[in-house]
């Protein structure tokens, strides 16, 4: 059974700081997704990582994938308050079935 684990689950940080969210998964997969969810809202797609070594960046967020280590990271650079949200990674088990991590609730304080 595929398991996807994120850490940390809760992260409180100050504006301007850098930090990394980790996503480990238990079985081989070449496809990993990152989503953002604001309170009471739906999921917003951030990144799709489709191969080993893939790196994608959008603004202050950068995601990478190491399929050999079964690890993805979401790096936040010079955090701003608007990035406060819950971040989920998800691994594709085929036929559009995603297995999600528990989510990382990120709070960025001024």
Partner 1 sequence: KAGVTQTPRYLIKTRGQQVTLSCSPISGHRSVSWYQQTPGQGLQFLFEYFSETQRNKGNFPGRFSGRQFSNSRSEMNVSTLELGDSALYLCASSWSTVVETQYFGPGTRLLVL
Site of interaction with partner 1 (CB under 8 A): 31, 33, 35, 41-45, 48, 50, 88, 90, 92, 94-103
For partner 1, the closer CB: 18 or 27: 27
**Shortest distance in whole angstroms from residue 89 CB to partner 1:** 11
Angle (CA) 69-94-10 rounded to 5° is: 50
For partner 1, the closer CB: 61 or 79: 61
**Shortest distance in whole angstroms from residue 82 CB to partner 1:** 20
| Three-state DSSP state, 65 | strand
Torsion of CA 65, 73, 70, 10, to 10 degrees: -160
């Amino acid at each position: 059974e595929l398991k996807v684990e994120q850490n940390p689950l809760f992260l409180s940080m100050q504006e301007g700081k850098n930090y990394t969210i980790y996503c480990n998964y238990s079985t081989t997969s070449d496809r990993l997704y990152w989503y953002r969810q604001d309170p009471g809202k739906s999921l917003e797609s951030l990144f799709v990582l489709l191969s080993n070594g893939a790196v994608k960046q959008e603004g202050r967020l950068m995601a990478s994938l190491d399929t050999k280590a079964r690890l993805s990271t979401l790096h936040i650079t010079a955090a701003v308050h608007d990035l406060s949200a819950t971040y989920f990674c998800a691994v594709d088990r085929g036929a559009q079935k995603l297995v999600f991590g528990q989510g990382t609730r990120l709070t960025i304080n001024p």
